[in-house]
Amino acid sequence: MNKDRKLIIAGNWKMHKTAAEALDLIVGLKRELAAIKEVDLVVCPPFTALGAVSAEVLDSNLRLGAQNVSEHNGGAYTGEISALMLKEFSVRYVILGHSERRQYQGESNELVSRKALATHAAALKPIVCIGETLDERQANRTETVLETQLKGSLAGLTKDQMEETVLAYEPVWAIGTGQTATAEQAQSAHAFIRKVLVSLFDESIAKRVRIQYGGSVKPSNARELMSQSDVDGALVGGASLEVRSFTDIVKHSI
Ligand code: 13P
């Protein structure tokens, strides 16, 4: 596939896998994906498995991501994890503003932007998630919602920081439902997101930022989704938990 932007495919393991299970999965992924150079590959285990997975990915073409980070550098914030703590495990990426955190932890766009700034301050790369609910889509509010999320979640980022940021378009109605957005729906949302990036930053940044699609990505739909001109990768949930399905998604995307 010939795109200016290198594809980035990440597995969001969510709250799955003990450290021992994570080790099994990463060993299998390393073996099956060792030859892949065309795609940036990222795995995002839960915090408790970062240590086990980190040791395995050090000498591989896989990179490590976390699923959240504190907006603070340190202090009396019980239960929180700072960006510097993630760096100890050679984490490179941090998923921010996932719809599950927006929904269950009440994360706002403003909080996501503060977390994005903390992530950049530690020289890590945020993967900022945005996406509309089914109600919002049915009310024809998709673009308004995406624009508000982008403006709020990316507030305060410099152009240089934006270039080192990955976006993930994850329509909430497609997450964990088996109901994938059609390639046309994904392409149209991604093109709109890029247009908003032109207005928030500039044309050349908008051209360089990678926008992943997430929501029921499977081996059977990866090729069509990844072939869309503004789709630059995938953020995979359920299908990233098995060696075979994640490997097939990657291989079908190149
Ligand atoms: P599924 O691939 O399970 O639909 O999850 C998508 C997701 O939320 C990735 O962050």
> Torsion-angle region of residue 58: left (phi > 0), alpha (psi -120 to 50) or beta?
alpha
Distance from the CA of 44 to the center of ligand 1, in angstroms? 12
CB atoms within 10 A of CB 27: 13
Sign of the torsion angle spanned by Cα atoms 197, 133, 67, 114: positive
Q: Which helix (H) or strand (E) holds 169?
A: strand 166-169
CB atoms within 10 A of CB 221: 20
The residues assigned a catalytic role are 98, 170
Confidence (pTM): 0.97
Do 184 and 213 contact (CB within 8 A), yes or no?
no
Task: Report the DSSP beta bridge partners of residue 43.
Answer: 11, 64
From the list 250, 242, 253, the residue with the least C-alpha distance to 42 is: 250
Give the model's pLDDT for residue 2.
Answer: 52
Whose tokens are 């992924």? That residue is 29
Do 130 and 167 contact (CB within 8 A), yes or no?
yes
Distance from the CA of 208 to the center of ligand 1, in angstroms? 24
Distance CA 145, CA 186 (A): 15
Domain ranges of the chain: 7-253
Distance CA 71, CA 171 (A): 25
- Ligand 1 atom closest to the CA of 99, numbered from 1: 8
Do 119 and 36 contact (CB within 8 A), yes or no?
no
Residue identifier of the C-alpha nearest atom 2 of ligand 1:
237
Sequence-distant (≥ 6) Cβ neighbours of residue 225 within 8 angstroms: 180, 183, 186, 213, 217, 231, 234
CA distances from 202 to 20, 159, 184, 197 (A): 45, 8, 25, 7
For a mutational test of ligand 1's pocket, the pick from 13, 15, 216, 246, i.e. the residue with the most ligand atoms closer than 8 A to its C-beta, is 216
Ligand 1 shell residues, CB under 6 Å: 12, 98, 170, 175-176, 214-217, 235-239
Task: Report the DSSP beta bridge partners of residue 40.
Answer: 8
φ/ψ of 105, rounded to 5, equals -110, 5
List the pLDDT tens digit at each of the 254 positions of the chain. 557 899 999 999 999 999 999 999 999 999 999 999 999 999 999 999 999 999 999 999 999 999 999 999 999 999 999 999 999 999 999 999 999 999 999 999 999 999 999 999 999 999 999 999 999 999 999 999 999 999 999 999 999 999 999 999 999 999 999 889 999 999 999 999 999 999 999 999 999 999 999 999 999 999 999 999 999 999 999 999 999 999 999 999 99
Do 219 and 178 contact (CB within 8 A), yes or no?
no
Distance from the CA of 67 to the center of ligand 1, in angstroms? 12
Sign of the torsion angle spanned by Cα atoms 108, 109, 112, 117: negative
Q: Quick one: fold of 7-253?
A: TIM Barrel (3.20.20)
CB atoms within 10 A of CB 112: 25
